[in-house]
Amino acid sequence: MNIIVIGPQGSGKGTQADLIGPKIGAAKLSTGDLFRAEIAAETPLGLRVKEILASGNLVEDELTLAIVDERLNTLASDGISSYIFDGFPRTTAQAVGLDQLLETRGQKVDAVIELTVPEDVLIERMSSRRVCSGCGANYNLAFQTTQRDDICDQCGGQLVQRPDDMPGAIRKRLQLYNDLTKPLLDFYGARGLVTTVDGNQDVERVQEAIVHALSAAAINSEA
């Protein structure tokens, strides 16, 4: 079963993809993770992606599709043929490209989960993110507190806000989501694949709602 989780940054889609994947025997394919791995390895591609992301823009469709294609090949060679996509597709062109990538493998998109969270909650969640300038540990002060304000519990380093978690950058990403990614809900909605889940509740409740939606989708795709 191939599933896409769609939602703005801060909607918890990465967390949900991590939780749901093992339950349904699907490998998570996160373009964000793949981009970060390229950046960390300082490949030519990684350097280009780093620049694009730092400016708050989306990585081009063609480049994104090439990375996904490569990842699908790697997973297939490990015998994995069920995927849960996180952060991809982000544009209609990417969705069309994904259809082609799956079709050449005799597969298709089986279900799309849309996670909705009110915009003011998203902004609060994202602007509460901090990273340790010492060890790189991530915190979200909306969900956790540290022993000392603005100090890392693990190494005593100073917690700072990343430039892309500043209000201007957050608003830019939400705008890109509304303009480019939301139209995907019509694209997949026309095929009856979309289930909307309220992402503004406990992680466990969100997970239950997604599992429920997927079992309904599994019945439909067998019928």
Q: Which residues are catalytic?
A: 13, 90, 129, 162, 173
Segment interacting with Zn ion (CB under 5 A) among 23-31, 64-72, 146-154, 207-215: 146-154
Segment interacting with Zn ion (CB under 5 A) among 1-9, 46-54, 155-163, 167-175: 155-163
Minimum distance from CB of 128 to Zn ion (Å)? 17
Site for Zn ion in 123-142 (CB under 5 A): 132, 134-135, 137
**Is residue 183 within 8 Å of residue 114, measured between CB atoms?**
no
Of 54, 66, 142, 155, the one binding Zn ion by CB under 5 A: 155
Distance separating alpha carbons of residues 185 and 5, to the nearest angstrom: 11
Partners of 86 in beta bridges: 5, 30
> What order of strands is seen across the sheet that includes strand 138-140?
138-140, 129-132, 159-160
Pairing state between β 83-86 and 111-116: unpaired
Minimum distance from CB of 5 to Zn ion (Å)? 30
**Is residue 11 within 8 Å of residue 199, measured between CB atoms?**
yes
Distance separating alpha carbons of residues 41 and 12, to the nearest angstrom: 26
Minimum distance from CB of 6 to Zn ion (Å)? 33
Distance separating alpha carbons of residues 220 and 223, to the nearest angstrom: 5
152 forms part of the interface with Zn ion (CB under 5 A): yes
**Residue among 81, 71, 77 nearest 30 (CA):** 71
47 forms part of the interface with Zn ion (CB under 5 A): no
Region of 56 please: left (phi>0), alpha (psi -120 to 50) or beta.
left
Site for Zn ion in 156-215 (CB under 5 A): 157
Of 154, 158, 175, 220, the one binding Zn ion by CB under 5 A: 154
Minimum distance from CB of 41 to Zn ion (Å)? 23
Omega cis (within 30) before 167:
no
Q: How many CB atoms lie within 10 A of CB 166?
A: 14
Closer residue to Zn ion (CB): 32 or 134? 134
26 forms part of the interface with Zn ion (CB under 5 A): no
Closer residue to Zn ion (CB): 133 or 201? 133
Number of residues that bind Zn ion (CB under 5 A): 8
Minimum distance from CB of 154 to Zn ion (Å)? 5
Segment interacting with Zn ion (CB under 5 A) among 27-35, 48-56, 144-152, 209-217: 144-152
Where on the chain is the footprint of Zn ion (CB under 5 A)? 132, 134-135, 137, 152, 154-155, 157
